Chains A and B, each alone.
Chain A
Amino acid sequence: MIVDVNAFLGLWPFRPLGHSGIDGLERLMGRSGISHALVSPFESLFYRDNAVANGFLRELGGLKSMCPIAAINPSLPDVGDFLRGMDGLRAIKGLKLHPDYHGYDLNDDSAKAAFDFAEERGLPVIIPLRIQDERLHPKFAMVPPTPAKALIEVARLYPKVNVLACNARSDELGDALGNNLSNLHAVVSWVQEEGFVASAVREHGCDRLMWGSNMPLQYPEPTLEQIRKADVGSGEKERILAGNAVEVFNINFREPDAGPLR
């Protein structure tokens, strides 16, 4: 079993993607053996209405292979309504925040409200530090990455909320792991320096490592193969590729699907 904790659906405005949409994601999952993907919408990066941006979640309710993640902009005025409305969405497995694209600080009151909500509902919070390499951003839309330090601070502030750092470089993941915060998880969703996975497991164990593809912007295989071919035991690989995510997101794959979203 392989669980991808960092996948996206929707259209990317800056270049055509060969595998976007549910069909495209299913193709990528099928060819690389991914059994389940935690999926959020690209639209949430750009839209100014949380409900509209996350409208696709309803389509995912009936799909066994994809778990919906609500990607919210807590600085928008509709966030309260949206979050309250989420109570009815049984299948939602977590929140995703993009402080880089939405221009707020994780210490802001709005972000704290999102974390309060996550804490109350037992939802993990996924935070991609970036979506693409900042050197490739269109010049009119430069988006500086969220610093790893901000995730460490918020994870410390909310010890009951599992926080996932995605799309981070080796040094940023090292910072996240180095703080020994049991609720701060490092997601390998970026190509790291040779030997990173093995040395991270040696230094910090495998309990706080997970895998995410950043598909369909990236193919899943390059980052997946980093884990598969890493010089670590098969049990450790299993934890990174599935076990840790199953625990943190409280996913019971043997259960029938949670059913269509209301």
Chain B
Amino acid sequence: MRRLLRFIVHRSKEPEIGLILEIRTAFQRAQNSHIMWGDGGYGVRSMRIIDAHIHIPREDPSGVGNLVKAAERNGIGALCFSSLGSWEYEPPLEACVRANGEVKWAMDRYPGTVVGLCYVNPASGEAGLREFERCIDDYGMRGLKLWVARRCTDPSVDPFIEAAVGYGVPVLQHAWLKSTGNLPHESTPTDVAEMAAMHPDATIIMAHIGGNWEVGAKAVKDCRNVLVDTCGTICDAGMIEYAVKALGADRVVYGSDNYDFAGQVAKVLSAEITDEEKEQILSGNIERVMGL
């Protein structure tokens, strides 16, 4: 592209056009230069990396401070936190309320850095809905986190998705397709696709690209309201490229899920995609979806 632009500049008989193209080329080069490798950090010039999927540390909520510090060291400017409390699979409402309180504490302690997501067990029904509304209205949280308490196709989930649509906030939905077997209420990528079709106005972020990423990306390919996040232990070569090819870079967001920030960011930076696509994944898409 650069070569082509230079060629046009040299061939142009209009000096003004040449100058404009020259400036544009230089601008593009400068834009691309903000993502780079090296010991001195990622060299992020203007981009604020945003972690779309991270949890308050289990049994140590105050560990948020260490995570914020480590995130800063890795050029991550904002973290979208939810708390799963004690990681009970089907927590009672009180446990979710406590967990959301931890997130609120972190939001107050690190304003501008910690973005909050509300966590509920959909089986808690009306009372759970009130908790979600409280988290958005009173706490200023920006999304809903659903884990493994109920399959996302379970009817108990619907009112929560509709409430999220009403607030215009995204739903971060855990999904995995495990050959070792899923938990009883654990959603698969196919479940997420079904949920997305039932709620076309909802914005859903499917966690972990569905774990089994080839299946996950393909399952939600046609659901334009589903994005995927890149977090978790799976760092397979070609995973990010596959998701970008199947879904488009505008439907992939970076997340850590509390795994090493440097490693999780490097998953995206080492992918064989363009710098513009990396920037979308690391920052632009989640900014757009959460209105950050």
Contact = CB atoms under 8 A, between A and B. Distances in A.
Given A17-B238, A135-B180, A190 B233 contact: yes
A216 B262 contact: no
B237 A133 contact: no
Contacts of A231: 70, 73
Interface string A116-159: 00000000000000001111111100100000000000000000
A195 B264 contact: no
Interface stretch (B93-101, B126-134, B196-204, B266-274): B266-274
Contacts of A193: 258-260
Contacts of B70: 194-195, 231
Given A193-B258, A194-B70, A194-B258, A222 B263 contact: yes
A102 B108 CA distance: 53
Given A15-B214, A193-B260, A231-B73, A219 B235 contact: yes
Nearest to B238: A18
A224 B263 CA distance: 7
B109 interface: no
B199 to A, nearest CB: 27
B259 A191 contact: yes
Given A190-B233, A191-B260, A194-B259, A228 B39 contact: yes
Contacts of A19: 237
Contact of A138 (B179, B261, B272): B179
Contacts of A15: 214, 238
Interface string B221-244: 000000000000111111001000
Contact of A194 (B39, B241, B260): B260
A225 B269 CA distance: 11
Interface in B49-68: 66-67
Say whether chain B's binding surface is mostly helix, strand, loop, or mixed: loop
A244 interface: no
A192 B260 contact: yes
Contacts of A218: 235-237
A223 interface: yes
A172 to B, nearest CB: 12
A191 B264 contact: yes
B178 interface: yes
B264 A229 contact: no
Nearest to A229: B262
Interface string B96-127: 00000000000000000000000000000000
A217 B211 contact: no
A133 B270 contact: no
Contact of A191 (B214, B241, B263, B272): B263
B238 A222 contact: no
B73 A136 contact: no
B74 interface: yes
Contacts of A195: 66, 70, 260
5 contacts: A134-B179, A142-B180, A192-B263, A193-B259, A196-B260
Interface of B: 37, 39, 41, 66-67, 70, 73-74, 176, 178-180, 211-212, 214, 233-238, 241, 256, 258-267, 269-272
Given A19-B237, A139-B179, A197-B260, 15 more contacts: A15-B238, A17-B238, A132-B236, A133-B233, A135-B176, A136-B234, A191-B233, A191-B235, A194-B70, A194-B256, A218-B236, A222-B266, A226-B263, A229-B73, A231-B70
